[in-house]
Structure 1
Amino acid sequence: MSVSFSPDGKKLASGCSDKTLTMWDVQSQTLLCRLEGHSGKVSSVSFSPDGKILVSGSHDKTILVWDTESHQSLGKLEGHNDAISGVAFSPDGKLLASGSDDSTILLWDVKTKNI
């Protein structure tokens, strides 16, 4: 399981072994949404610095990009050959780094979703 607080501390995201991603309201401790889209367990989650985007890395070798308000998918990033082990935004939110069990780290342009 992986967990990440939103930058303002109001939301908590958790990636689960049941292939889902959940987002919680921290103050009320209530479930905001359950996001589905991965075919493997979710191993890493990260909020963008502005809190508008949430990304999830999975054992299915993909990264899904989510809108934190609409809870809709904004796209899928593919490029690794093994499970995603970590995802992290740059401080300005323009780049996303992903690490994989294939021993590679990829840098993604968040706007274009290209490596």
Structure 2
Amino acid sequence: MTRITGEVVIAIVSGSVILFVFIGFVIRNALQRRVDRNLPIQTTQSRVLFKRIEEFRNGQNSPSMNHYFVKFEIESGNQEFKIWSKEKYDELVLGQEGYLKYQLKKNTALFIDFSQS
């Protein structure tokens, strides 16, 4: 008969806890994505207020990546969005007015499009 030592029990319990936490995390994220997908896309008149580029590096010798941000003046106040395309970022001009299409999610505001009025 094989004896189960305390170390084996601790390893099994620890592994089970980690597995359940991981499964809970996956389920919670899947449910949040489902909610986010069903949020309405909003379109509002807006004006480009500010543009900035943030350089990002993983380490000293790693290549840099640029993240593009634009702040818009909208009816509810000012809102900054990350712009995923450098081409779209370059098209936007300070003071430009038009229609902003975006989606407000739980933790972020998602830029969809901007078209001149």
Q: TM-score range by the shorter chain?
A: under 0.3
Structure whose residues are more often strand by fraction:
1
TM-score by length of 2: 0.25
Structure of higher RCO (CA pairs closer than 8 Å, 6+ residues apart):
2
TM-score by length of 1: 0.25
Structure whose residues are more often helix by fraction:
2
Max Rg structure: 2
